[in-house]
Structure 1
Amino acid sequence: MTISQWPAQERPRERLIEQGATALSDAELLAIFLRTGVAGTSAVALARQLLHHFGSLTALLTADKQEFCSIHGLGEAKYVQLQATLELARRYLACEVERSSALSSPQAVRDYLRSHLHGLGEEHFVLLLLDSQHRVIKLERLSRGTIDAASVYPREVVKTTLAANAAAVILAHNHPSGVAEPSQADRHITGRIQQALALVDVPVLDHLVVGSGQSCSFAERGWL
């Protein structure tokens, strides 16, 4: 039986319209994105198979092109659509945070930075510049690649901070492996940047390491 033959109250699209997107399961939301299944398999059944294959929704959404397109029923067109959808979500969340009042909680910071760093295939190190009310001035991307290889220079952090007239900063980078546990290199560069910015009276409020579905705050661990 195809989805069009299901009772209206059980069809994902109709349920979303009547009850809202939050009422749907991961598989149902994914089925709406897929639109169609494959021969003998509905879109919902295909969505469930995909979630089982990848192990989680996060793993599916962050799969590389080769792995994604290797699955029967998917392909380059679906991959492009998915990447565009994810980027729209990132930009929406970033805009919402930038338009709102100050970043008043660790969760607000996590949401903002995850919108920029989650799902990237390589390591990015960013500097979140804040005014005296802890409102976002801008997000500056300082390096791309591992922290060891794509050195983050404290003098460049100071230069960028002063140019933006920032009153405080938050450091952040992602771990493409998905594990948010900071390395010794992470702690070392954080200390160097903190010392450099102390010379111009700009505090480092936090350093957030973004993984897959998790993050680690230096401030919460008492490392700053």
Structure 2
Amino acid sequence: MSIADWPEDDRPREKLLTRGANALTDAELLAIFLRTGTKGKSALDLATDLLNEFGDLRSLLSASQTRFCEAKGLGPAKFVQLQACLELSRRYLKHCMQRGTVIEHSQDVQNYLISELGGRLDEVFGCLFLDNKNRVIRFEELFQGTLDSANVYPRVVARRALELNAAAIILTHNHPSGVAEPSRADIAMTHTLQKALQLLNIRVLDHLIIGDGYAISLAERQLLVPK
């Protein structure tokens, strides 16, 4: 049975229009991107097979051109289309964090930082610098380390915050392993930075640890030094 023969509420496109994109599974979203299936398979069947073949959505979307095009039902045209979609998403998220943007929703910041740091093979530490009205000044990567650690120097963070006249900071770093669970070292480093920046009246609003497609907020975990 083709997707056209399904009940309307079960079709991915109609489901997206009536219930929103968040209601769709990875396979349903991928089916909309693919548009068509292959002989004997609907787009949703093909999407399900591809997710099983690659392991998950991230592995599929980050596959090399050669690996992507080798998969049945894909090819150079779909690879180009996918890369354009991914770049549009990155530019949209970057635009949401442009200078002067007021930070109103923590999820917007998380989505942006996931796009910037997610999937990196080395550990990167950065700061989102904000003014006294929580408007974005800029995001900068300040330190890079090995697969296991990055050396973070409070004086460097403090100096850059003063240079940019920042009143608040959101700290962030990624875990190349893909697991964003904070370590004791992560928490200790956060507290050290908080205490150093408090002396300069610069607030640390959060420390976001970026994993494989998600982020963990130390503020939400109540792991920051109490004000």
Question: Which range is displaced more, 79-88 or 123-132?
Answer: 79-88
Distance in structure 2 (CA, Å) of the matches to 1:149 and 1:111: 23
- The percentage of counterpart residues that share the same residue type is 50
Match of 1:222 in 2: 223
5+ long unaligned stretches in structure 2? none
Instruction: Judge which range, 41-50 or 97-106, deviates more.
Output: 97-106
2:99·2:137 contact (CA, 8 Å) conserved in 1? no
Any idea what the Cα deviations from partners look like across 1:3-50, whole Å, max 9, x if unmatched?
A: 6x757957655x379647636543233123224434443322110112
Q: Which amino acid in the other structure matches residue 41 of structure 1?
A: K
The Cα offsets for residues 103-142 of structure 1, whole Å up to 9 and x where unpaired, read as: 2454444334334333444433210101111121111122
Q: Distance in 1 between matches of 2:192 and 2:28?
A: 47
Note if 1:143 corresponds to 2:143. yes
Equivalent residue for 2:85?
Answer: 85
Query: What is residue 72 of structure 1 aligned with on the other side?
Result: 72
The alpha carbon displacement at 1:85 in A equals: 1.6
In the alignment, structure 1 segments of 5+ residues that lack a partner are none
Aligned residue number for residue 154 of structure 1: 154
Give me the whole-angstrom Cα distance separating, in 2, the residues matched to 1:161 and 1:147.
26
Quickly say closer, same or farther: Cα 1:177–1:140, change in 2 above 3 A. Answer: same
For 1:118-197, what aligned pairs fall within 5 Å after superposition?
A: 118-146=118-146, 150-197=150-197
Distance (whole Å) between structure 2 residues aligned to residue 12 and residue 183 of structure 1: 40
Residues 149 and 113 of structure 1: is their aligned pair in 2 closer, same or farther, counting only changes over 3 Å?
closer
Aligned length: 222
Q: TM-score, normalised by structure 1?
A: 0.76
Q: What are the residue-to-residue correspondences of 1:24-103 with 2, within 5 Å?
A: 24-63=24-63, 68-75=68-75, 77-96=77-96, 98=98, 102-103=102-103
Distance 1:66 1:157, change over 3 A: farther
Structure 1 counterpart SS, 2:52 = helix
Residues 147, 176 of structure 2: 8 Å contact kept: no
1:124-174 Cα deviation digits (max 9, x unpaired)? 321010111112111112234448655333222122211211001010112
CA distance in 2, matches of 1:183, 1:99: 32
The secondary structure found in structure 2 opposite 1:44 is helix
Report the secondary structure of 2:134's partner residue: coil
Q: Distance in 2 between matches of 1:43 and 1:32?
A: 8
Note closer, same or farther for the CA distance 1:31–1:94 as it changes in structure 2 (3 Å cut).
same
